[in-house]
Structure 1
């Protein structure tokens, strides 16, 4: 996320499937106007409480990412962490403004039996391929405590 924020401190940001709002709050603390969407009312309430305790202003949106109508070209940053958005990725990317950045971290397929099942994980290089229309700034497949993960930071071209 630091790569996305480097040299930028304002604009509009979207945190997709925000959960407890970790990314949303970090973006708000850095000066961004943040919308955060999640399907869970309980998660959003906990995230809101956490944001209030840190004086972070976030617009919390209770909605299902699978059916949400993302606005076109309004966000300078879109963050997705540990949510399988592959079926909605093109709609989510259309919400990125030209020159906007995508930060995506998720699980990779694994023979281990921890975390989500493989149908909710990316195959090696799948996220990279799904982001072919973006300019990739950073891509890594790695392990955290033995769990295979992937991180992508990419920018939407100014002419899209």
Structure 2
């Protein structure tokens, strides 16, 4: 079996590898509503979310298994004159210890298996922002195998112990390529310090765009 580090290094070293500079739209659009403080960016890749958060005053830990990706991320941070604590680790092996985060971001990484640990790493009132590819009956960009895509409502069900602030399943254009779309599930949820959790009143899944 190929080591995850080697597999991802090969991907980031590829001659046609292109990775976006901007943070995911949900993070950029919701920034003013998110708690300040310490942030963790999981599977940071080339650091687009981590650098964005550091630029806006967060103390950021960013984890990825790929040496190549983290080197590009360090260069990006240096170009923007911000500091990020880059951590080379497989998410399966990463242990935040007693550290608690006010914001945790997970973008386009199938993290269902590790969500319990990530939720435990949220500080009271801390927010999880997670986005990943969905299975779709229509041609969309992203992983070629459904093995690496979420089913409809997988992400929502995995976070019902948090207060759900927003959950949406939709297709959207890829940044810089209006002719190509991705199917995504996007969740924003808060770790409440007490009282009852709250949930969306109705399903927001787009049954026309995603397969169940």
Q: Give the TM-score taking structure 2 as reference length.
A: 0.71
- Whether the 8 Å CA contact 1:73–1:98 is kept in 2: the answer is no
Query: CA 1:120 to 1:8, structure 2 compared with 1: closer, same or farther past 3 Å?
Result: closer
| Aligned partners of 1:4 and 1:153 also within 8 Å | no
Q: Which residue of 2 aligns with 1:50?
A: 76
**Distance (Å, rounded) in 2 between the aligned partners of 1:159 and 1:54:** 39
Cα distance in 2 between the residues matched to 1:26 and 1:9: 15
User: Unaligned stretches of 5+ in structure 2?
Assistant: 1-26, 174-180, 196-212
1:118 to 112, 131, 146: 146
Q: Does 1:153 align with 2:180?
A: no
Q: How well do the aligned residues superpose, as a CA RMSD in angstroms? A: 1.8
Which structure shows the bigger proportion of residues in strand conformation? 1
The structure, 1 or 2, with the larger RCO (C-alpha pairs under 8 Å, 6+ apart) is 1
Q: How many residues align?
A: 160
Q: Provide structure 1 residue ranges, at least 5 long, that are not aligned to the other structure.
A: none
Structure having the higher Rg: 2
Give SS of 1:6's match: helix
TM-score (norm 1): 0.93
